[in-house]
A and B are shown apart, each in its own frame.
Chain A
Amino acid sequence: MSEEITIENFYSKAKSGKLFASQCIDCGKLSLPPRKICPVCYSTKATWRELGNEGIIESFTIIHVPPKRFEHEVPYGVCLIELNEGIKVLARTTMLEKLKIGQKVKLKIIDAQRNEWPDWPYFTIE
């Protein structure tokens, strides 16, 4: 776990199916995507911390007019999920029936199979 804390490393770990945040060694603050400088105590001592995939939907929207990249998926939902560790993440889904504030969900990571930058995976729910 000595890899440098960068956004690219975060997404390459995610590609292998695991979600890692950065955690401030001094105050415990979790950050997603990970960052070197703690936004709470400004410490520069951070480490990787693996997260679970469970959380609840804090809010959601259903996108009908999409950006170009997601044109083929409309209508799709985007939900703001608060993970059990208390940190938030955005996920996209076409299972619109799951979209309810307070709904328990499991985060899933899918490889976007892209050959150009950014070749980051996407987050969805199961």
Chain B
Amino acid sequence: MAVLEEAKIVVEHDQCKGCTLCIIACPKDVIIQLSSFNTKGYHPVEYKGEGCTGCGICFYACPEPGAIIVYKKGAVVE
């Protein structure tokens, strides 16, 4: 168990359809699209690794229920 000191997102690559709506929505511009393919044949997106504020905007912009998980600062994780 750990308490996150910084917010972050995790993208489930195989649930991402590469629509880029999260990228357009993110106010911090911290999501990028990968040039590699996922198992569904889409280019998934990925968190740049820093700068996320945990605002959740990408989560609500994303149409796939399970593609993005947003961890806000202070979230308790395994």
Q: Is B one of A's binding partners?
A: no
Point out residues on B near A: beta carbons under 8 Å: none
Point out residues on A near B: beta carbons under 8 Å: none
